[in-house]
Amino acid sequence: MNCFKTVFLWLVALYLYSLSTAALAILDINVMTFNLRVPVDPAPNDCASRKPRVISIIKNQHPDFLGVQESVPQFVTDLQHELTQYAHIGRGRETDGGEEGTQIFYRKDRWLLDKADQGTLQLSPTPDLSGSNAWGMQWPRIFTWAHLREKRSGKFVYIFNTHFPLKPQERDLSVQLLAKYILARKHPTDSVILTGDFNACEGEASMNYLLGQGNSPITMQDTFRVLHPEDKVITFHAFGKISNECKIDYIYTLGQWSVLHADIIKDPEGAGFASDHYAVIAQIRLKKSTR
């Protein structure tokens, strides 16, 4: 009898261990991209009025990773003050690291930053030169990336965040450079998340490039379109003045991901706008990891 009891307890323990191992093998991540809008608008769309709305949206969604755009230094400081469970990396696009940035906020209770594999580069022929803008764009443009380890599972992921320029030919050059860096990442088997304001509607050449069309060397997926392939949506609305634009804010993935949820976060009616863009969110699951 004792022998049967021992075997039974051993089988139960093995079963529980297999369940815990399976749980560790699944990694669910909440991601948000949010263009914060530079502080140039009069009330009620001034920055001071909008900050509480921005912070409320972020806290309500509680993303693991938040990629922001048009994030001036003071706004970043205010966000970090309010979002105490987060840390962030990234700088501004100018030579001194100031002005608009593409910072990445991450939950420091869950994620550990690989300090040797993170940074911000210019979208230009001289990416390492801060403030460079050799393509003659109206403003310099940048992207930020981070390599992070999930503390419980030990799994690594990359996140890239960017803000593309205004003209199609500039976006074509930018997407080619960005794809090059994604494909040349230090740990090529680690899966990738890409967030950003790409200033491009779906179907434009730069967006098709990320989807693997034409002569593109990279094939990513638009998380929103995985679940909502036919929905007519916008993300840029100019504080409610535009209703017939398109989706220009995206969360892409590269690797073994499935999409559990994706949405565009509208401002509550009567509460005022948080930005001239809507935030975009996705809950994604890493199905397979090589380490």
For 32-73, how does the pLDDT look when each residue is reduced to its tens digit (9 = 90+)? 999 999 999 999 999 999 999 999 999 999 999 999 999 999
Closest CA to 30 of 107, 140, 118: 107
Q: Say which CATH topology domain 2-286 has.
A: Deoxyribonuclease I; Chain A (3.60.10)
Residue 174, classed as helix, strand or coil, is: helix
- Pairing of β 257-265 and β 221-222: unpaired
Residue 188, classed as helix, strand or coil, is: coil
Q: What is the pLDDT of residue 98?
A: 87
pLDDT band at 8 (very low <50, low <70, confident <90, very high): low
CA dist 4 → 18, 61, 67, 93 (Å)? 21, 49, 55, 68
Q: What is the pLDDT of residue 67?
A: 98
DSSP line for 78-115: HHHHH-TTEEEE--BSSTTS-SSB--EEEETTTEEEEE
Domain boundaries, the chain: 2-286
Mean pLDDT of 93-104: 94
For 261-279, how does the pLDDT look when each residue is reduced to its tens digit (9 = 90+)? 999 999 988 889 999 999 9
Position 123, amino acid: L
Which range has the worst mean pLDDT, 67-76, 134-143, 204-213? 134-143
Position 233, amino acid: V
Q: What value does the mean pLDDT of the chain take?
A: 92
Cis peptide before 73 (omega within 30 of 0): no
pLDDT surpassing 60 at residue 1: no
CA dist 123 → 19, 95, 120, 126 (Å)? 45, 13, 10, 8
What distance in Å separates the CA atoms of residue 21 and residue 65, rounded to the nearest whole number?
24
Q: Buried b vs exposed e over 223-244: b needs ≥16 C-beta within 10 Å? A: bbbbebeeeeebbbbebeeeee
